[in-house]
Chain A
Amino acid sequence: MHGTLGGPATIDAAVAPAVRHNRYATVVLLRFLRQPVPMTAAVILLVVMLAAIFAGFIAPADPFQTRVARRLAEIGTPGRWLGGDELGRDVLSRLIYGGRISLAMAILPVAVGLFVGGFLGVLAGYAGGRTNMAIMRAMDVFYAFPSILLAVAIAGALGPGLVNAILALSLVFIPPIARMAESVTTQVRSYEYVIAARLTGASTLRILREHVLSNVAGPILVFASSQVSVSIIAASGLSFLGLGVSPPNSDWGLMLSALRQSIYINPWVAALPGAMIFLCSVCFNLVSDGVRQAMEVRR
Chain B
Amino acid sequence: MNPDPSRDLSRMPAPLPEIADRGGPLQPLLSATGLRKEFRLGGGFFGPRAVVHAVDDFSLTVIKGETVGIVGESGCGKSTAARLLAGITPADDGEIIFDGETFWTPRSRISGERRRAIQMVFQDSASSLNPRMTLTETLAFGPRAHGVPTATARAYARDLLAAVGLPPARFAERYPIELSGGQRQRVNIARALAIRPRLLILDEPVSALDKSVEAQVLNLLVSLRDQLGLSYVFISHDLNVVRYISDRVVVMYLGQIVEEASAQDIFAAPRHPYTRALFASKPSIDPRQRVTAPPLVGDPPDPVNPPSGCRFRTRCPIVEAICANARPPLSAMPGAGGTHRAACWAALPGNEHSLSPRQKGALQ
Contact = CB atoms under 8 A, between A and B. Distances in A.
A adjacent to B, CB under 8 Å: yes
A24 interface: yes
A191 B123 CA distance: 11
Best-surrounded residue of A11, A206, A210 (most CB of chain B within 10 A):
A210
A200 B175 contact: no
A1 B194 CA distance: 41
B88 A21 contact: no
Nearest to B194: A200
A206 B145 contact: yes
Interface residues of B, number: 44
A145 B194 CA distance: 50
A193 B127 contact: yes
A294 to B, nearest CB: 15
Contacts of A215: 130-132
Interface string A57-84: 0000000000000000000000000000
B173 interface: yes
A141 interface: no
A128 to B, nearest CB: 12
Best-surrounded residue of B113, B127, B182 (most CB of chain A within 10 A):
B127
Interface residues of A, number: 28
A198 B88 contact: yes
Contacts of B133: 210-211, 214
A196 interface: yes
B157 to A, nearest CB: 13
B141 A202 contact: yes
B142 A192 contact: no
B88 A24 contact: no
Given A201-B145, A215-B132, A191 B112 contact: no
A299 interface: yes
A23 to B, nearest CB: 9
Given A200-B195, A201-B146, A299-B177, A193 B116 contact: no
Interface string B99-129: 0000000000001110110111010010111
A157 interface: no
B86 interface: yes
A126 to B, nearest CB: 15
Interface in B155-181: 166, 170, 173-175, 177-181
B34 to A, nearest CB: 23
Contacts of A4: none
B183 interface: yes
Contact of A21 (B134, B166, B188): B134
Interface string B183-222: 1000010011011000000000000001000000000000
Contacts of B146: 200-201
A226 B324 CA distance: 60
B175 A21 contact: yes
Contacts of B181: 8, 10
Contacts, number: 91
A297 interface: yes
Nearest to B165: A13
Given A12-B180, A193-B130, A201 B116 contact: yes
A5 interface: no
Contacts of A12: 180
A193 B129 contact: yes
A185 B285 CA distance: 45
Given A21-B173, A200-B142, A191 B180 contact: no
A21 B179 CA distance: 12
A199 interface: yes
Interface in A13-34: 13, 19, 21, 24
Given A21-B173, A192-B128, A206-B145, A199 B119 contact: yes
A196 B120 contact: yes
A297 to B, nearest CB: 7
A48 interface: no
A192 B180 contact: no
B133 to A, nearest CB: 8
16 contacts: A21-B175, A24-B132, A193-B128, A196-B128, A196-B188, A197-B142, A199-B119, A200-B115, A200-B116, A200-B142, A200-B145, A200-B194, A201-B195, A203-B145, A210-B141, A211-B130
Given A193-B128, A195-B88, A214-B133, 14 more contacts: A13-B180, A21-B174, A24-B132, A192-B122, A196-B120, A200-B119, A200-B141, A200-B194, A200-B195, A201-B115, A203-B145, A206-B145, A210-B141, A211-B141
Q: What are the 9 A-B residue pairs with the smallest beta carbon separation, nearest first?
A: A202-B145, A10-B180, A201-B115, A191-B127, A200-B142, A192-B122, A193-B130, A192-B128, A214-B132
